[in-house]
Amino acid sequence: MLVGLGVIAIILSILVFIHPVMTVVTIVYMMAITLIIIGIEKIISGMFVRRGSKWGTVGLGVLALIFGSIALGFPVSTGVFVIVMLGVGLLFAGISHIVYGFGNKSPRWARGFSIGAGALATVLSFLVMGAPYAGAVAVSFFVGIALLIIGIETTVVGVSGRRMPMMASDIRRKI
């Protein structure tokens, strides 16, 4: 069974590398469906709450339902919006690393590393915001690499017949 799951993950990683934009659209579809399901659940559970924030739960459910429906109706626009917001977040993270690097009393190499990482994040943020397609390709590239690594690992574990730890309680340290 693990071999089959590993092969499926490897095939999906190849598809992600071949169709990067469709990967982002598929992720948007999955998140939209998840938001709609969560919205319906929150509305229904909010109606039966005895105490607490009954209308807050219902309102949150309605918002999740609205945002999920918008994302489902306009997946490409939603994907572009999410990628641009990723660029904005990356810009703020880059600027904060640069400011931290200049104002920090750490060793010189640590400050240089912080400033360098902040500069890289700032440059990448402008790339992502200026060309959302390039940002989508970058996101897809990282998803593809993750799927490929997971697929290879799962296939090797399945072929070797070893048990793969799935929960923290399954991971035991040997003394």
CA distances from 172 to 75, 163, 164, 168, 175 (A): 43, 12, 12, 8, 9
pLDDT of residue 167: 54
pLDDT of residue 149: 92
- Dist. CA 138–CA 124, nearest whole Å: 10
What is the rounded average pLDDT of the residues 100-118? 88
pLDDT of residue 142: 86
- Dist. CA 122–CA 73, nearest whole Å: 32
- Dist. CA 54–CA 115, nearest whole Å: 47
pLDDT higher than 60, residue 94: yes
Higher pLDDT, 44 or 165: 44
pLDDT of residue 161: 75
Percent of the chain scoring above 90 in pLDDT: 43
Q: pLDDT by residue (tens digit) across 122-167?
A: 998 998 888 888 888 888 888 899 999 999 988 888 888 766 565 5
